[in-house]
Every structure is written in C-alpha cells, then in structure tokens.
C-alpha cells in the first residue's frame, strides 16, 4: 500500500486525472472472444457520475457481455476496464457495496416474502453504511417505491411476472448503490409497470444522484430515460450521444407531407423550414394537411445498425466524434 502511495508521489498523475475521476465507468479497447467468435472487438465507453446511459444494440451485439464485464461477473479477453476506479473482476467487497446489479431471477426464494428477502439481503450492506451515505435503504420505503407494498408479505413464488421484476429491481438497489447496472430491466413489464419503473429511475437519478447504465430494446424507453445513448453493434460502439444528437447525426431527414388540390405529396428533406416556406410561397393557402415528421430514434437506430451491419465502416470516425 505504502509503496503504491510513494510511487504516486514520485510520478504525479497528469492533470487529466481530474476529469477522469468523474468517469464512474471507463472502458478502453475492451475485447471479448468466445473461442473463435469475437463478440467485442474494441469497446470504448465512459459513464460519468450522475449520468443515465443507455446501451442499445441488436441481439447478440454484446450488450449483456459488456454489462457483465463491468459488473465483474465476467473476465474480458482484453482491454482496460475501470468501474468506480477499480478493475471489476479484481475489486473487493467494499466496491461490491457501492455497485447495484439488477438480475433477472425466475424461481429463487419462492418460499420467502419480498419483505423478508429484502431485509435479509439488505443486511449485508450495513457494515458499509456511513453518516453521509446510509445503507441499506429502509425496506418499507423501498417496497413502497417499487410498488410492492400490497404484496410485501406474500410468498415470492406466488408473485406475477411483473411483481417479480419489481422485486428484482428492489433487490438491485437495496444497498443504495452509487452505480446501478440494469440489463433489460423492463422486459415483461406491462405499460403501467414500465411507467412506474421510469419514474423510479428518474427518482434514483435526480434525488439520489445514482449513476445508471442500462440496456434495453425499447427505444422509447431509451429516449425517455437516457442522458446519453450508446449503440453497440458488430462488437464496438458506433454511436454515442443524446437522442437528439443521434437523430440529427444519422437519419438527418424529415418527411414533409401535404396535399394540394386533392393530391397527396411526400418530400424528404434535411432543411424543413426553408422547404416549407418555399412551399407556402409557391402555393399559399392551397397547401393542406401539412405534416412534418422528424426521424425518430427508431429510424436512426435502424439506419445505424443497418449501415454497420452491412460493413460500412467508413462512417465510424464521424459518428464516434459525437462522444468528444
């Protein structure tokens, strides 16, 4: 320990460290190979303190693998990974206490009740409680927060799928984590549960300052929750930015629809305002049913994934610049 400290004193870190310290998650050149199959070919990503970052990508792109490496549940084949300043696979129990993981269970603890289970699992965090950051959360508060109050004393085996997922979320955050990983948290949620979950994420992020990294297939969810969206495909991050930035970056186009004299027209353009102005200058009141439809995140996502799956790597540099 002391030798390390001395080393640091002899070789002071460059000032860049100040900004790095805010990186709760820092990944450089992350690679993962299963046998012959390269799942991750060089993932670079940062998650800053207090951010909600959403990782999107087609099935098999390596989202779960990435998250599991960050959780310390899987060893990467190569690259540099730092989570809360430590290498996850080697980090100790004090690090574990600061990280929350939402897991998808299926039949575990069937005889327990949610209250009993949360009390039991939360107990492990007590030694890591401090006056400024008390751990774990109060079980009653948590049950209320995830909407399980009415089912708190039922056997877990009798809960519905949606209730079980709420419990999974509660178990994941019971230790009041500074960083929370969620792998497809809303899979199997009904719309109400999904809305409740989104509220919960906002609350954790706004009130608690929890840093959150989640994966999802629901683009609406990504748009709603994420400060920043990363798209992972073909083993690396191909896009990094807010939903707005991404939409502008790729699809760029909006569709303008209108009708004139009973005939319908569609025009795709990047320059919506000038086009619509010229439309009115030309035809005035004859223009009817005017509709401008911006490319959605979904359009963007599909366009991006298709572009990269078809092997158009040339576009990579301009896209990753967004992250800078």
Instruction: Please check whether residue 69 is in contact with residue 30, taking contact to mean a CB–CB distance below 8 angstroms.
Output: yes
Is the CB of 74 or the CB of 198 nearer to another protein? 74
User: Measured from the CB of residue 33, what is the shortest distance to another protein in angstroms?
Assistant: 16
Other beta carbons within 10 Å of 18: 9
Which residues fall within 8 angstroms of residue 65, CB to CB, at 6 or more apart?
32, 39, 40, 74
Stretch that binds another protein, among 14-22, 93-101, 229-237, 257-265 (CB under 8 A): 93-101
> 3-state SS string over 84-124?
CCECHHHCCHHHHHHEEEECCCCCCCCCCCHHHHHHHHHHH
> Does 106 interact with another protein (rule: CB under 8 A)?
yes
> Does 103 interact with another protein (rule: CB under 8 A)?
yes
Quick one: which of 120, 160, 192, 282 contacts another protein (CB under 8 A)?
120
Is the CB of 184 or the CB of 245 nearer to another protein? 184
Is the CB of 181 or the CB of 308 nearer to another protein? 181
Is the CB of 94 or the CB of 266 nearer to another protein? 94
Cα-based distances in Å from 50 to 65, 230, 297: 23, 16, 23
Quick one: which of 11, 15, 17, 111 contacts another protein (CB under 8 A)?
111
Nearest to 117 by CA among 171, 177, 182, 180: 171
Which residues of the shown chain bind another protein in the complex (CB under 8 A)?
A: 64-65, 67-68, 71, 73-74, 93-94, 96-97, 99-101, 103-109, 111-112, 116, 120-121, 123-128, 171-172, 175, 183
């Amino acid at each position: 320990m002391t030798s390390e400290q001395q080393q640091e004193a002899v070789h002071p870190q460059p000032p860049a460290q100040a900004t790095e310290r805010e990186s709760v998650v820092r990944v450089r050149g992350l690679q993962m190979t299963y046998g012959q199959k390269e799942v991750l070919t060089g993932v670079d990503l940062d998650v800053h303190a207090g951010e909600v970052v959403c990782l999107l990508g087609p099935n098999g792109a390596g989202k779960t693998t990435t998250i599991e490496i960050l959780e310390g549940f899987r060893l990467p084949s190569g690259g540099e990974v730092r989570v809360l300043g430590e290498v996850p696979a080697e980090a100790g129990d004090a690090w574990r206490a600061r990280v929350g993981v939402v897991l998808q269970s299926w039949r575990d603890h069937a005889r327990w009740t949610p209250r009993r289970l949360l009390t039991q699992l939360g107990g492990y965090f007590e030694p890591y409680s401090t006056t400024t950051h008390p751990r774990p959360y109060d079980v009653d508060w948590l049950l209320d927060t995830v909407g399980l109050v009415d089912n708190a004393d039922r056997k877990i085996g009798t809960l519905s799928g949606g209730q079980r997922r709420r419990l999974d979320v509660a178990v994941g955050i019971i230790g009041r984590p500074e960083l929370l990983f969620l792998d497809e948290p809303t899979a199997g949620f009904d719309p109400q549960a999904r809305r409740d979950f989104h509220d919960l994420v906002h609350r954790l992020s706004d009130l608690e300052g929890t840093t959150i990294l989640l994966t999802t297939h629901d683009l609406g969810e990504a748009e709603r929750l994420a400060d920043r969206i990363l798209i992972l495909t073909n083993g690396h991050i191909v896009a990094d930015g807010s939903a707005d930035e991404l939409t502008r970056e790729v699809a760029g186009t909006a569709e303008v629809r209108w009708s004139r004299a009973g005939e319908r027209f569609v025009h795709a353009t990047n320059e919506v305002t000038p086009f619509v102005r010229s439309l009115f200058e030309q035809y005035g009141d004859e223009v009817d049913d005017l509709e401008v439809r911006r490319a959605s995140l979904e359009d963007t996502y599909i366009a991006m994934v298709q572009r990269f799956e078809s092997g158009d790597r040339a576009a990579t540099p301009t896209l990753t610049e967004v992250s800078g």
